[in-house]
Chain A
Amino acid sequence: MNKRYLAGAALVVATAFALSACAGTAGSGSTGGTKTLTLAQAQAATSADDFGGLDGLIAAANKEGHLNVITLPPSWANYGQIIQGFQKKYPGIKINSENPDGSSADEVAAAKSQKGQSTAPDVFDIGTAVMDQNLDLLAPYKVQSWGDIPDDFKDADGTWWYDYTGLMSIGYDTKKFPGGVKKIDDLLGSDFKNSVAIKGDPTQANEALSAVAMAALQSGGSADDIQPGVDFFQKLKQAGNFLSTLPTQATVASGETPVVIQWSFNNVGWGPAAGSAGNPNWKTVVLPGTGFGSYYNQAINKDAPNPAAARLWEEYLYTPAVQNLFLAAGAYPAQLAAMTKAGTVDKTVLAKVGAAPTDFVQLTSDQAAAASTLLTSKWAAAIG
């Protein structure tokens, strides 16, 4: 009885939300400084000015009342705090976080399959390889601090723009490995038996492919030739040190995966920085030599069901406060250089994570395609 009553109440609330969402986007016209746009107009807005400035954008986003984000794990690059911060700053907008552990391809699939529905993702945090194939899904937009994003970090038309990069790093449990990790071949030693994990299958997950690329750079390979990285993992497997468990914050905390090769912002975020959810003995090492990084991109779904909230989210991400939150996790944000110059960077955080890397390699789209071809034919045999 109680349950049925609750379900009924939930339905009423949901209907009310749906109705108010309709009402929010129905009218057109202009009141005072802010403008009310139709859904189509809002989906085509290329800057906050189209809404009559930031206040107009906030008002429009509040009317929508929802924001659908996708594939943002709370333990990834501080997204947990960043989402909480948005909820606190704009309590009228409810964030629906869909499929947090999904891949970039899952983002695109959701946008296509849910097109026109209220559950479709509004914004993407997406890898370059998948994005390049799906540029027609994206709506150009320029955040107010567009000028602070370096030119080679963004599309001139505003179709996409970099958000942050980490460096491939090795995280390990200092209690289990007091000797530490100084070079990649250390991991082949007998004390690392059944210990080293990567973030999935490199023919599926970009972060796992990046681990192979980093191993290649450390073993005499290059961005053009990641075969030495595949060879490294084959040796790791033969030594009995490779672990085919998918590492998560929980497996790191429990000790199930005592060594994880992944983005620095995840290794940092799963260690002492995570408080009681993290592993207090987790240390993050970026090996000397050429680093391996990869900027992820921000973009807006051109069919976003909540176009104003989507744009407000982007404005929010590119405020110094949120850029500093990325930085605190070890994810170097796109506006870091401008913020350092303007003095808005959080200096204690910067001192803690260290200055942004100046020379690191990221794969061009040709190199990424070559790497994926190589992995398709070689990876399964190497670790099989």
Chain B
Amino acid sequence: MTTFATNRGAGVTLRRRGARLGTGWLGLLPFGAYALLFLVIPAALAVASGFFTDGGTFTLANFATFATPTTQRDIIGSLGLSAATAVIGAVAGALICYALLSTKPDGWLRTVVDSASSVFAQFGGVMLAFAFIATIGNQGIVTVLLNQVLGDGTVSSSLYTVPGLTPVYVFFQIPLMVLTFMPALEALKPAWGEAVATLGGTRWTYWRRVGFPVLAPAFFGCAILLFANGFSSFATAAALISQGGLISLDIFKAQSSETVIGHANESGALALAMIVVMVVLMSVYGVLQRRAARWER
């Protein structure tokens, strides 16, 4: 995880930092240009489109979409799905991290879980959707087997609904939690536990007075990251659901609809709403991360 400059020799660090500013920023240029071209400009254009009609005159009419039952349902759907999968992912991921803590840091188990998490945390989109269709879809192997055992028609798949996306999202949320939370857990020093024991505290005292308070900012920070991750997902949902229900799907729908004509720029208003949610979340994440970092030196 990120390491921060310590207070030791702050004066020296400061002076050195000042000197670095002279040419050091040049190294950031390629990334800065990349972020500008592929993040800042597209985001600005997308949001700006929300304030104009198709013809290019200024309007606030696109924001009327927030008054429609569909948009309201889908905002709630997106928030609900992201929150549910963030909580499940955060709790399950934290438990896995805790279990791993008793293994050797450079042991094979830790290495395998670590690299598997890096892969699965990125395993989204059509591939993931297909994997779930093949297992618990209408003709998925599990669904078919259950129907053969329990009798035809007893089991049906709800994979293609917004609640049905929960297990699918959890599939990439848990590994992301493992990846981001493990460093925080590793930062818990055995010496703290020994100190509590020396002072006559129990294991529970240790967790209640030291472990949880130290880990809380990191835990909630990671949970927020998971929420943002679920909130912005598109491809997995698009591959599974044909009737909408998420805000990211609405943006696509407004852009490509061939029946509701002339509402394409509503996607700009929807994008603005998503960006507002993300900015709020990432600000909170930043604050929590800074608190968490205090214990990770």
Using CB atoms and an 8 Å cutoff, list the residues of chain A in contact with chain B: 102-106, 109, 127, 129-130, 133, 193-194, 197-198, 200-206, 208-209, 240, 243-246, 254-257, 368-369, 371-372, 375-377, 379-381, 383-384
Contacts and interface: CB of A to CB of B under 8 A. Distances in A.
Most B-side CB within 10 Å, residue of A200, A245, A254: A245
A92 B257 CA distance: 35
Contacts of A209: 259
Contacts, number: 99
A133 B69 CA distance: 26
B157 A194 contact: yes
B242 A109 contact: no
B133 A203 contact: no
Contacts of B244: 201, 203-204, 380
B73 interface: yes
A377 B256 contact: no
A103 B242 contact: no
Given A102-B256, A104-B258, A206-B259, 6 more contacts: A109-B255, A194-B156, A208-B259, A244-B161, A254-B139, A383-B243
A200 B243 CA distance: 6
B93 interface: no
Given A105-B264, A256-B137, A129 B258 contact: yes
Contacts of B160: 243-245
A255 B139 contact: yes
Contacts of B68: 376-377
B167 interface: no
Contacts of A244: 160-161, 241-243
B126 to A, nearest CB: 12
Nearest to B249: A201
A129 B255 contact: no
Contacts of A106: 256
19 contacts: A105-B261, A109-B255, A127-B258, A130-B258, A133-B261, A197-B242, A201-B253, A203-B253, A204-B256, A209-B259, A243-B138, A244-B243, A245-B138, A245-B242, A254-B139, A256-B138, A257-B138, A376-B68, A383-B243
B259 A129 contact: yes
Nearest to B153: A193
A87 B241 CA distance: 36
A103 B257 contact: yes
A375 B258 contact: no
Contacts of B258: 103-105, 127, 129-130, 204-206
A14 B250 CA distance: 38
B260 interface: yes
Contacts of A193: 153, 156
B103 interface: no
B105 interface: no
B42 interface: no
Given A102-B256, A377-B69, A130 B242 contact: no
Interface string B234-278: 000000111111000000010111111110100000000000000
B13 interface: no
Given A201-B243, A244-B160, A256 B256 contact: no
A129 B243 CA distance: 21
Closest 3 CB pairs of A and B: A246-B242, A380-B70, A104-B258
Nearest to B133: A256
Most B-side CB within 10 Å, residue of A209, A369, A376: A376
Contacts of A246: 242
A376 B256 contact: no
A202 B243 CA distance: 8
A345 B226 CA distance: 61
Most A-side CB within 10 Å, residue of B241, B242, B245: B242
Contacts of A376: 68, 70, 260
B115 to A, nearest CB: 25
Contacts of B153: 193
A215 to B, nearest CB: 15
Contacts of B138: 194, 243, 245, 255-257
Contacts of A371: 259
A372 B254 CA distance: 13
B156 A375 contact: no
Contacts of A255: 138-139
A349 B214 CA distance: 76
Contacts of B253: 201, 203-204
Contacts of A102: 256
Nearest to A107: B258
A281 B114 CA distance: 48
Contacts of A379: 70
Contacts of B156: 193-194, 240
B152 to A, nearest CB: 10
A301 B44 CA distance: 30
B54 to A, nearest CB: 8
Contacts of A377: 68-69
A384 B260 contact: no
Interface in B153-172: 153, 156-157, 160-161
A143 B244 CA distance: 41
B135 to A, nearest CB: 13
A257 B133 CA distance: 12
Contacts of A369: 261
Interface in B39-88: 68-70, 73
A133 to B, nearest CB: 6
B17 to A, nearest CB: 41
Most B-side CB within 10 Å, residue of A106, A133, A204, A254: A204
A251 B133 CA distance: 10
Contacts of B245: 384
A372 B241 contact: no
B260 A204 contact: yes
Contact of B257 (A105, A368, A381, A383): A105
B294 to A, nearest CB: 46
B247 to A, nearest CB: 13
Interface string B136-160: 0111000000000000010011001
